[in-house]
Structures are given as structure tokens and as C-alpha cells.
Structure 1
């Protein structure tokens, strides 16, 4: 009891940071709409901030894991918070300087922080909870708050931007920047003064027997690492491009506020999907869950691609405006409805891919986790490719990119996830 009471405050701070990972990461897509307006940019350039954010994972994924082993949770988390504060601060300054390059620099710096926090937060919550069911419960609580914060970003940006889509600028969303910087400062201050356990610091004097094999020696892991990059690209690209599509006067034709509510509904469905996945996870295998999710996602993406934009439907959304946030309905192209529903599918994919990819890896699991974080860079690459296609051939045509990505995930679940290297010693 005393242990839980002593760690209540850092646990709360870690849950806040879990939410900030999604908050800062998901800021890139709605910021893309703002950047497009201020700098008269293309969809490709509008998505560059998202690319810069995820590009940092390619540089920091494995080093972040090694840093955790060397200096522990607390120092790694504090450094990540400092970098995150600086990254968001640079994005704020880009509005003052009215510089697209400064904005990209801020997104890139913030990406380093998000990568480091991803490496720290999950195992830290597990440790603070004492491991076992309590540790897993805390991670699930953190993941839920992560989804909630991801849902809030497009709502907040849409509410601040309102209906003046054509004349918006980075300075119009300064309150969102200040909120992020304030949370980083608060959590950093608290963590600096509390003591937390450090079970993962590696003893420098400990001799570790080297192996001629590695995580890369397993075919199902290599294909799984590719799958995680593609998955993140699909998860980010579907709502990110949808925001551009809906807020484009020549396409979806909605104001930024309404577009934000529709995109927020995608992230809300991811939250719902995670609740469903958690409730049936003990009865349904990761393989079956990934097969169903990727197959259904392909159907939804295909319907969005082939159906005419002129056909509209009314869907339930959270409505944001200058007066506040309420529940209501929005009239949108039918394509957007099917794209929003893909959120239910992407919600359960990360865990399924990770479980299948590390199955049977034994001693190589830790290094595999670092590689996974590096592959998250796919969340920047695929949406960039998708929006380059959107610029040249149209928004709905660009959704063949996530469709093909979902097809690969279906292949991985059906065939690629089988461990064909069981002869490799993993003890």
C-alpha cells in the first residue's frame, strides 16, 4: 500500500506523458491545414511536419533504448521532457517568425522527445505498478488517456481555427502550444523531485555473452518490423489526409472546425476499438484479431476510394466551435464515413503486430523493441507518399496507399508471422 501511495504522483505524471505522446504527434495533421493556409503550401508540404516528427524515430529509436539502460527512467524521461518543451517552443516561434523551415525544425525536435517518451513510459508505468496485472492495468489506463488526448487535438485546433480556414496562421493555435509546454514543464518539475525505482539500468561490470544471431535473424520479426512501419503510416495517413480533403474547398468543402470534429471521431473510434480489443484480447488471438482488422480495413478503404464524393451522409461527431464542444451531426462525403470507421480497425493493430513479431525471440526481445521504435518512421514516410499522390491525382486515389498497406498487414497475419527460425537458440 505504501509503495502505491508513494508512487501515485509519478504514476499520474507518466499517464499525462502517455497522453502527451499522442497530443504532440497528432498535432502534426491539423497543423498541416494551418501551414497550408499560411504558406500556400501543397498537401505534400503540409504533411512535411508529420514527416519531420516521425523521421526523428529513425535516428532515436535504438539510442533511446540504450540511454534508458545507461541512465535509467528518471533521467531519460527528464531529458525527453526538456526536448519536448523545446520542440513545441520552436513550433510556437515559427508562428512568430512566420517561417515554414522553423516549424519543420520544431516538429523534428519534438519527434525526438516523442520517441524517447515511447521508450520510457510503457516500462516505467509497469514498474511503478509493481509489474503483473497492476502494471498492465496502468499501461491500459495510459493507453486510454493517450487515445483521449489524440481525439482532443483536432477538436481543439478546429475550435481555435473556426471557419476562417483560408486566413489561418500558426499563431492562431498558440493556446494548444502553450498547453503542451505547460504540461511538459509541470511533469518535469514533479519528476525531478521524486524518487522512482530503476530496475533496467545495466550493470557496467556484468558480462553478457554475445550471440552470432540477433532479432534480424528471424524472418517473422523482419516482416513484422516492416509491418509496424506500414501500420503507423496507415494509422496516421488515413485521418491526416482526410483532414486535408475535408478542409479543401474544392474537395470536401467543410470548414476547419467541422473537419476537425470528423477527424477527431476517427481517433475516438480508436479509443472505442482499444476498449473492445482489451475486453476480447484474452479470448481472441493476435493473429485472428489482425486478420479481421486488416481485412475489414481494406474493405472500408476500397469503399472510400470507389464511391462518389458527391454522395453525402450525416454522421455523429463531437462538434467544436468558438462556444465550446458538444455532440451533434455533420454532413460529410460518404467517403469520409468509411475512412472514419477505419479507426476501429487500426486501434488493435499495434499490439497484434508486436506480439506476433516478438513471439519466440526470447533474449532478443529487448533489442527488437528498439528496432520497432525505429520503424515508427513509417508514420512519416507513407503519409508523405500518400499526399504527393493526392497532389497529382486526387485525394481518394491516394487512399490506394493505405489500402495496399492494409493488404500487407493481412499477408503478415496470414503468412508472414509464422516463426520459421525455431532452430535459433534464444535462451
Structure 2
């Protein structure tokens, strides 16, 4: 099945997921100020959001397997709208936890549903390329989200005509609520658009898939290996991103609030730009080879970032983001293309691996305190990176990514 309107819907959904997921970063200081809490309690905001991935991804895969992706997408946007509206109307600390968990659950449902749907709607051979295109939009939304936030809050604080209208959806000292009001509107619009879309269900066997059946997939060596690979990628990404500012301040005297923040922004920007090159390479090279080259590039960048001079580190850290750009997309596409059936259930298991990435930063901090050397602790990042590199050797996809033949072989005529 090739259905490019469905592909477009999926790509837009990726954009929406990123717009919401990366919203917590820029509003994090405002949340601390609004609720007058410390970093420990504030840490429960992202925890409530990302914990939903660990709890909801496998059930989401089961629902998608039984009810179809359209049902899951509609349910997700309904949950997202409810969570956002609750957040705007009742922004107490306790309700904020509930709202963020609800929105996180919606994002987990979407992630699980749209990956196998993109594979089916765009064609198995083109899945890796479309997945990288989705990652490109994901990065674009991550860049746009803080810009929209600062612009809307600026209107509210200056008391402009638009700002006065926007302030109706906020509360005193909680201007950031306008973003969740905006997200409620976006969720409702996406709910309506999806309801009018024709999204054929994947052909299923008559046997009912249960939770035990889904958990049984963990007995499949291939599924387990790709689950670990996804966990490794998220851990690697978060481990680098969360360590950049602290590392530069510790070893090179870089101000974490100014230049350090800029380097982190460059990391995400290059992660987005890298998708463009990755998208082009996937049209002319095998996905495993692209993953191998980018993994080696990431390893070299990390070595220079950790042991290089200040000038080298300022370049090498963002460069590592460039080489991380295609990893999620290629690993996910190789994983789904390596199994015969049950792609929605497997997608749920792979998305559960997202929550595993939360372990990277605590492990790095623990080793740093034991050794007294952040450089030594950052070496732990080469463990997940090494596993990702290994994927390029042992992965055996049943369907390879479609590539353009630059030199066509002359066919013999009978």
C-alpha cells in the first residue's frame, strides 16, 4: 500500500510530537519559578511526561494491532487535548503531573502508531528515507518550539492587543500556559483532520493478540536486540546533550548560561541538518553502511570533544549531534524491516526503549562522583555507541532500503 496523503499526515504528526516533547526544555526555568520549587521536584515534570512511554508503549502497540493505527491516533490526540486543557484550566502542581502524564501517554500512542503506518503507507523499501524525513521535521519543530514560546510570552508581557487576548488563556505568573492552550487547539485540529482521513488497517490474522503475546516478543532475539539499540540511542543522545554545558564549564571555563547554551543549541541544530545529508545518502547507499559511517563519525567527534582543546570541543560537541542525526530512523526502520508481522506490537516494544534513555545522565553523574573526573564518566557513552555500531554488522533486514542505481546494468535479452 502506498498512500502519500497518509505519509503527509504522519510527517505532520512527527512535527507535532516534537513541538510538544521539546517544549519542557525552554519552559523549565519558568515552571520552577511559577511553582516555587527546587530542581528535585521540578525533575518530576519531565519524569511524568517520559514515564508514560515506558508504561503506555506496549499497550499502544496492542491497541494498534487490534483496532488499527487510525483509532490509536484519534485516541492520542483526544488524550493530548484533554491533558492540555486540564493543564490550562487547573495548573496546580498535582494536576500538572496528571496533565503531563496524559500528554506523554498521547505522544507514546502516536509514536507507536505512526512508525509502522509510515512504513506501510510509504512502502517498506522507502521507510528508512521517509523516517529520516520525519526526523528532519522532528528537529525543525524542536527548533521552532522555543521561538514560538518566547514570541507569545513577549506579546503577553508587553500587553499588546494580541497579548491581551492571549492572556485570557493564562494565569498570573504562568504565562507559559499559553503554549499548552496552543497545543490543545493543535490537538483538536489534528483530531478532526485524522477523522476524515482514510487509513486502511494492516492485514491481521484472526487470532487475538494479548499482552502476554506482546511480551512474548521479548523472546525474539531480533526484537530484543533492536529494543536495546533504541535504548542505547536515546541514552547516547540524552547523555551527550545533558553533559555538554557542564563539561565545557568544568574543563574550559565556558559560561553555561550563555556560550554553553549556544553549543547545546548547535548540537540540536546540527542533529537536524544531518538528517538532510542522511536522507540523500539513504537514496544511494545501504542503510547499514550509512549507520556504520555515522557511528564512526560520532565516535571520532566524541573523542575530540572529550580530550580536545576548548576550541576543538566547541566544534566537536555539535558535530556529534550531526552524526547522531540518522541513528534513530535507521535503527527503527531496520528493526521493523527485520520482522515478518506484528509491526505495531514490535513498534510498541521499541518505543518502550525511549524510557531507557533516562538512565544515561544519572549513570554519568554517578561515575563522575566516584572517579572525580567527568572525562572518565563520559567514556561510558562509547558503550551504547559501540552497540549502535554493531547493528550495522548484525542487522539482517528482510526488506532493504530503496536506493537509486547510478549505473544500471545492461540486461541480457532472450
Give the TM-score of the pair, scaled to structure 1.
0.70
Aligned to 2:106: 113
Residue 375 (1) aligns with residue 353 (2) = yes
1:30 & 1:243 partners in 2: Cα distance? 15
Structure 2 equivalent of residue 404 of structure 1: 383
After superposition, the Cα gap between the structure-2 partners of 1:301 and 1:109, relative to the gap in structure 1 and judged at 3 Å, is farther
Which residue of structure 1 lines up, in the alignment, with residue 177 of structure 2?
Answer: 174
Q: CA deviation at 1:142?
A: 3.9
* 1:357-381 deviation line (CA, Å, top 9, x unaligned): 4565334655432211211212333
* 2:298 is equivalent to residue 297 of structure 1: yes
Where does 1:15-414 land on structure 2 (aligned, <5 Å)?
15-36=11-32, 39=36, 41-42=38-39, 47-92=43-88, 96-97=91-92, 99=93, 101-125=94-118, 131=123, 141-157=133-149, 171-192=174-195, 194-200=196-202, 202=204, 215-242=217-244, 252-253=254-255, 255=257, 262-307=263-308, 311=310, 335-357=313-335, 360-363=338-341, 366-386=344-364, 399-414=378-393
Displacement of 1:394 = 8.2
Distance 2:146 2:303 in 1: 25
Residues 106, 355 of structure 1: alpha-carbon distance in 2 compared, 3 angstrom cutoff: same
* More displaced 10-residue stretch of structure 1: 214-223 or 386-395: 386-395
Q: CA deviation at 1:224?
A: 2.5
Deviations 1:113-136 (A, max 9, x none): 11111122234456666x477888
- What is the CA–CA distance in structure 1 between the aligned matches of 2:253 and 2:364, rounded to whole Å? 16
> Bigger CA drift: 276-285 or 106-115?
276-285
SS at match of 1:54: helix
In structure 2, runs of 5+ residues without a counterpart are 155-171, 397-414
Cα 1:232–1:134 shift into 2, 3 Å: closer
| Mapped contact 2:274–2:325 kept (Cα < 8 A) | yes
| RMSD of aligned residue pairs (Cα, Å) | 4.2
Contact 2:263–2:318 (Cα < 8 Å) also in 1: yes
CA distance in 2 between partners of 1:172 and 1:259 (Å):
26
How big is the shift at 1:349? 0.9
Deviation at 1:23, TM superposition (A): 1.5
CA 1:352–1:187 in 2, change beyond 3 Å: closer, same or farther?
closer
Question: Mind listing any 5+ residue stretches in structure 1 that lack a counterpart?
Answer: 163-168, 314-333, 420-427
Superposed displacement of residue 102, structure 1: 4.2
Deviation at 1:108, TM superposition (A): 2.2
CA distance in 1, matches of 2:173, 2:387: 37
Contact 1:305 1:335 in 2 (8 A): yes
Contact 2:61 / 2:349 at 8 angstroms: preserved in 1? no
Shift of 1:33: 4.0
Cα 1:277–1:398, aligned 2, differ >3 Å: closer, same or farther? same
Between 1:376-385 and 1:355-364, the stretch displaced more is 355-364
Residues 281 and 290, structure 2, Cα contact 8 Å, conserved in 1:
no
Looking at structure 2, the residues matched to 387 and 46 of structure 1 have their Cα atoms a distance apart, in angstroms, of: 18
Encode CA deviations 1:193-229: one digit per residue, 9 max, x unaligned.
x141332274757899x99x96434434423211211
Assess, with a 3 A threshold, how the Cα gap between structure 1 residues 144 and 118 changes in structure 2: closer, same or farther: same
TM-score of the two chains, using structure 2 as the length reference: 0.72
Q: Secondary structure at the match of 1:147?
A: helix
Q: Distance in 2 between matches of 1:189 and 1:90?
A: 20
Conserved in 1, the CA contact under 8 Å of 2:132 and 2:326?
no
Equivalent-residue separation in structure 2 for 1:104 and 1:387 (angstroms): 25
